[in-house]
Structure 1
Amino acid sequence: MTVTNGMTIRRAAGFAAAVALILVLAACGGGAGSKLAEGKTNVVTSFYPLYYFASEIGGDEVNVVNLVPAGVEPHDWTPKSQDIETASNADLFLYNGAGFESWADNFLQGISKDSTVKTAVISDGIELLEGEGEEHEEHGEEHEEHGEEEGHEHDSHVDPHTWVSPKSALIMAENVKNALVEADAAHKDVYEANYADLKQRLEELDARYETELAGVTRKDIVVSHQAFSYLARDYGLNQVAIMGLSPDAEPRAQDLMNVVKFVKDNDVQYIFFEELVSDQLAKTLADEAGVETLVLNPVEGLTQEQEKEGKDFISIMNENLDHLLQALK
C-alpha cells in the first residue's frame, strides 16, 4: 500500500519523524536593549519594519527603540516589564495590529496610567486577508485554549503580514508619518519631507515588483510559513505554505506530503525558507521533492549580520524580488 506521492507507509512515517525532530529543535528567545533619549521624540516600535519606517521618516528628530532585538523571530518574542516601562516613558508607541502582536492588549493595559505616550496601529487602512488553513484540525482546539496565553497565535485567523507587500508598505509608511506629526507637530515639515523621500523609494520598489513579476511564467511560490499572502495578492502569485501564519506551527505529515506532491506536479523549482527560523524543514521537503531552496525573507527582523552589512527593509525586499525571479523564470 502506498500514500501520497508514492511514499510507502514506513517511508512516510520516517519522514514525519524527521520533520517532528526539526520542529522541536527550532526555537529562539530575546529581549530589548535600546534606551530612551532626552531632547528627542522617543518612539517605541513593536518590530523591525515599523522601526525602519519611523527611523527613515523621523530622521534626526527622533530616537527609535525597537522592542524585538536583531536575530529574534518576533512570533517567538513576548515583552517584559522593562519593555512596558520603556513604552510608558516614550512619546509614541507604534505596533502593526491585525493580531500580529498577540501581546498588545495586555501590554497597553500595563502602560502607566500617568503616561502621555500616544499609540498608533500601523496596519490601519489595509484591506486585510484571512489566513488560509491556519489551524490544522488535530491542533485546533489546543491552539484555541493555549495560543493567546503563549503569545504565538494570531487573532481571528486574520493574516497580519501586511508589510511584506510594497503596496501595503506605502500605506504603513504614511500611517507612521501621520503618527509622528501628531506626536510632534513642531517638526511636521521634517517628517513630511523625509516621508516624501521614503515614499518615492517604496513606489520605485512597487513598480519594480509589478513590472518584473508580470513577465514570469511560473506563479506558484512554496514558502515555509504563510507570510506572503499580501505579496501574492498584489502581484499575481499563488502562495503554498508549509506552515500557517506562525512559523512555529506544527503541520501534519499528510500536509507535508501534499506540499511535496504539489511541488512535483506543478514543476516548482525552489522551496523558500526564512533566515530567522530554522531552514531544516524546507530543506527536508526540498530534498524529498528533488528541488532546491532559496531565501524569501518576510522582513520581520534583521539578523545581526544584516545589520552590520547595512541592509534594510528596501534592500531586503529587492533581494526577495531577485530570488522570486530566479524561482519563477
Structure 2
Amino acid sequence: MKGKRSRTWSILLILTLLLMGGCSRPAEEAQGNTEEKLLVYASFYPMYDFAKNIGKDKIDLKLMIPPGVEAHDWEPTAKLMGEMEKADVFIYNGLDIEPWAEKMTGSIENDQLITVEASQDVDLIKAEEHEDEHEEEEEHGEYDPHVWLNPMNAMKQAENIKNAFVKADEENKDFYEANFEEFANKLRALDEKYKQELSNMKRKEIVVAHAAFGYLANRYDLEQVAITGLSPQEEPSAAKLAEITEFAKDHSLKYIFFETLTSPKLAQVLAAEVGAETLVLNPLEGLTQEEINAGKDYIAVMEENLAALKTALGE
C-alpha cells in the first residue's frame, strides 16, 4: 500500500508540474508581447533618421526609399502600399519632394494611420527662378523642399514627428519627449558649430550640383550657385553653364561640389574648365548602403559637409 501511495503522489506531482509549465508559457509569452511597437514608415533618409532618434526601440521603423536611391523620382510599389495598410504612422517631408505621398495616403484603407508632413510650420524659402522655360515645369513647387539641411528646421521636423508618436502612443509620451530633447540638443550643438566655424571663412560662395542647399546657405550667410535646379535630373542650358563658369572664375573658386547619389560629370567638367577640384556636399536625400553600414547618420554627414565647406571656403 505504501509503495502504491508513493507512486500515486509522484504521478500527481508530475501532472501538477506539467500543468504549471503549460500555464506559465502563455503568461510568459503574453508578458513578452505586452509592449507592441508602433509600425512607422518614413519616406526617405532624413525622415527615417529623425524618427529613429525619437522612437528608438519603441518603434518598428521602415525606410521606404531604399539606400542609394535618389528621392526625387522614386515611386512606391503596390506591394509596399499594401504593407502600409497595417502602419501606425507615415512620415514624409512634403513640399512635393515625394509627389506620390498624398495620393498614396488617400488610397490606403487605414483609418487609424497618422500621417506626418514633417515640413509643417517650417519657415520656407521660395524656389529659385530659373532662366530656362522648361525648368519651371520640373521644379517641385513654389517652395524649396530641402528644409532639413538647416539643423533648426530639422529640429522642427523632429518635433512634428515626436508629436505624432505621442498621439499614436500616449502611454510612452515621456519616452518620446526625452528622446526629442536629447536629439534637439545635438541639433543645437551642430548649428552652433556651423555658425562658429563658418563665420570667419574668406569666401562665402559655393557652386553645387543642384539647388539643395538654400536653407543651409541662408542659415550660415553663404551664397549658393547651382548647376541644376531643385531636381538633380534637370539639364542646365549652355548659357547657364557659361554663366556659372564665369562666376567661378570671377570668384577664383577652388572647389566645385558634387553629390553621392547622382552623376558627378557636370561638376567635373565645370571644375576642369575653371581649374578647380571637386568635393562632396551631401544633400542627405539618401545614404548609400556603404554609408549606413559605416554607421553614418544625419549628424555625422552634416559634420562631413561642414568639413567640406571649410575646405572650400577657406582657400
In 2, distance between residues paired with 1:54 and 1:125? 18
Change (3 A) 1:55 1:93: same
The question of 1:53 aligning with 2:50 is answered: yes
The question of 1:169 aligning with 2:154 is answered: yes
In 1, distance between residues paired with 2:196 and 2:113? 42
In 2, distance between residues paired with 1:314 and 1:302? 13
State the Cα distance separating 1:49 from its structure 2 match: 0.5
In 2, distance between residues paired with 1:40 and 1:105? 25
With structure 2 as the length reference, what TM-score do the two structures score?
A: 0.86
State the Cα distance separating 1:135 from its structure 2 match: 6.6
Change (3 A) 1:221 1:180: same
In 1, distance between residues paired with 2:200 and 2:80? 46
State the Cα distance separating 1:194 from its structure 2 match: 1.0
The residue aligned with 2:295 is: 310
The residue aligned with 2:17 is: none
In 2, distance between residues paired with 1:104 and 1:177? 20
RMSD: 1.4
The question of 1:63 aligning with 2:94 is answered: no
The question of 1:275 aligning with 2:257 is answered: no
Q: Tell which structure's C-alpha radius of gyration is larger.
A: 2
The question of 1:213 aligning with 2:198 is answered: yes
With structure 1 as the length reference, what TM-score do the two structures score?
A: 0.82
Q: What SS does the corresponding residue of 1:204 show, helix, strand or coil?
A: helix
State the Cα distance separating 1:62 from its structure 2 match: 0.3
In 2, distance between residues paired with 1:194 and 1:167? 16
What amino acid is the match of 1:118? I
State the Cα distance separating 1:252 from its structure 2 match: 0.3
In 2, distance between residues paired with 1:61 and 1:278? 38
Q: What pairs up with 1:177-326 in 2 under 5 angstroms?
A: 177-326=162-311
The residue aligned with 2:108 is: 111
Deviations 1:164-185 (A, max 9, x none): 1112111111111111111111
Would you say the 8 A contact 1:88–1:116 is kept in 2?
A: no
The residue aligned with 2:28 is: none
Deviations 1:242-295 (A, max 9, x none): 000000011101101111110000111110000011111100110011100000
Identity %: 47
In 2, distance between residues paired with 1:133 and 1:223? 16
Q: Larger relative CO (CA 8 A, sep 6+): 1 or 2?
A: 1
The question of 1:154 aligning with 2:140 is answered: yes
Stretches of 4+ moved more than 3 A in 1? none
In structure 2, the gaps of 5 or more residues are 1-34
